[in-house]
Amino acid sequence: MGMSKRLNFDEETEVIGKICKALGHPTRVQIMTLLWKRDNRTCGEIVELIPLAQSTISKHLLELKKANLVNIKNEGKKIIYSIEVDKMQILKKYLTSYLSTIEISEQDKTTVLTTNHKRKGRYSHLKKYNYQFPRKMMKQ
């Protein structure tokens, strides 16, 4: 029987690891981007913008909640999701510090959120959020 070794890291490193793990799925990154652009959305509003089943979006929202990246507010039967700004500030501080230690050439500074594709059809509304779904079949 094998033994696993657990290293003890400082609290900030543990928090950064938990945040990065939660953001390790593209759908969760999309959800966070949508909430960043306009806070206080319901699951239904997010489902309208991301072409996945409501149950799938709910599972991703649960993972973001477990990592304390989103706040939940009950308004009657609706659950309103918003970003936990303090956690994002921790991530921003860490990434700013980390990125200041490495050099990136101007040519390599393009981001994953930049897109030049023009899509028509069912998922065209996602263009304004700079997300495309290349693995999904799109009718043109």
Average pLDDT over residues 125-134: 53
Does any domain span residue 140? no
Beta strand 41-42 pairing with 70-75:
unpaired
Does any domain span residue 73? yes
- Which of 35-39, 89-93, 96-100, 109-113 comes out lowest in average pLDDT? 109-113
What DSSP assignment string belongs to 5-55? ------HHHHHHHHHHHHT-SHHHHHHHHHHHHS-SEEHHHHHHHS-S-HH
Does any domain span residue 138? no
Give the residues across from 78 on adjacent strands: 75
Reply yes or no on whether the pLDDT at 101 is more than 70. yes
Does any domain span residue 125? yes
Does any domain span residue 4? no
Does any domain span residue 137? no
Give me the pLDDT at residue 121, please.
58
Does any domain span residue 2? no
The Cα–Cα gap between 25 and 42 comes to 20
Does any domain span residue 5? no
Average pLDDT over residues 61-90: 92
Residue 15 sits in a domain whose CATH number is 1.10.10.10
Number of domains in the chain: 1
Output the six-digit token pair for 106: 């101007």
Alpha carbon distance, N-terminus to C-terminus of the chain = 55
Domain coverage including residue 69: 11-102+112-129
Confidence band of 15 (pLDDT split at 50, 70, 90): confident
Reply yes or no on whether the pLDDT at 52 is more than 70. yes
